[in-house]
Amino acid sequence: MSITENITKIRRSLPTGVTLVAVSKFHPIEDLQEAYAAGQRIFGESRAQELTVKQKALPNDIEWHFIGPLQSNKVKDIAPFIHLIHSIDSLKLLQEVNKQAAKNNRVIRLLLEIHVAQEEAKHGFTPNECRELLQKISLADFPNIRICGLMGMATFTGDMHIVQQEFRTLHSLFVELKNGLFKEDEDFKELSMGMSDDYPIAIQEGSTMIRVGTSIFGERKY
């Protein structure tokens, strides 16, 4: 199937309220142009250098999402235009995003990355670390960021029961924060979980945003 056909098929399967992020990292600009022509406007990248090249080459109405590990020294490169950062995994990074957003007279939207998978290599706060961070800081000290929700990845496994339980853990934390600290915050509404292999389960468990690459673009091109 073509990129256009893949996007159309996935979109038709999504419930109302679930956003599709087309994960375009490591794919050439031509592939993104085809997806754009099919109506896709939200793309996810994981390397600042690759993202800035694509952002300059493609239409201005694209929403760019940063979905991979983000080094503090790369924040300045994407701060002028990034729509949403999914992968905030430290206080240091939170502070740097706020700093660079202020330099660009912007308010940058972000998600806190939560580590629920069994693989140690994956990034993010544990649920308890997330709670401790939010108790320690005052959001008033970060006027140039908006915490809009959480992001997480499940274990890469064929055991969908494990995947489901991890998504359920992440959704539980999301609901806890939504009904607690962020009760009066209309911006806190996104739960980014689910990729090509597991997004149907993620949606069942409350995802509002799925990050799909291989099922749209095929295997990585470079």
DSSP per residue over 132-189, as a string?
HHHHHS-GGG-TTEEEEEEEEE--SSS-HHHHHHHHHHHHHHHHHHHHTTTTT-TT--
Residue 68, judged by CB atoms within 10 A of its CB (0-12, 13-18, 19+), counts as middle
* Structure confidence at residue 136 (pLDDT): 94
Split at pLDDT 50, 70, 90, the class of 221 is: low
pLDDT exceeds 80 at position 220: no
Per-residue tokens: 162: 């494990």
Q: In whole angstroms, what is the distance from residue 86 CA to residue 109 CA?
A: 9
pLDDT exceeds 60 at position 222: no
Per-residue tokens: 71: 């080094």
Amino acid letter, 90: S
Q: In whole angstroms, what is the distance from residue 21 CA to residue 191 CA?
A: 12
pLDDT exceeds 60 at position 207: yes
3-state secondary structure of 109: strand
Task: Spell out the alpha helix ranges (H) of 73-140.
Answer: 75-78, 91-103, 127-136
pLDDT digits 0-9 by tens, 6-20: 999 999 999 999 999
3-state secondary structure of 213: coil
* Structure confidence at residue 120 (pLDDT): 74
pLDDT exceeds 90 at position 75: yes
Closest CA to 32 of 11, 63, 74: 63
* Kind plus residue range of the DSSP H or E element containing 39: none
Judge contact between 170 and 163, C-beta under 8 A: no
Largest CA distance in the chain: 49
pLDDT digits 0-9 by tens, 137-185: 999 999 999 999 999 999 999 999 999 999 999 999 999 999 999 999 9
Q: What percent of the chain has pLDDT over 90?
A: 95
pLDDT digits 0-9 by tens, 115-145: 999 877 678 999 999 999 999 999 999 999 9
pLDDT exceeds 80 at position 46: yes
Strand partners, 22: 43, 212
> Which pTM was predicted?
0.96
pLDDT exceeds 80 at position 70: yes
Split at pLDDT 50, 70, 90, the class of 113 is: very high
Give the CATH class of 3-217.
Answer: alpha beta
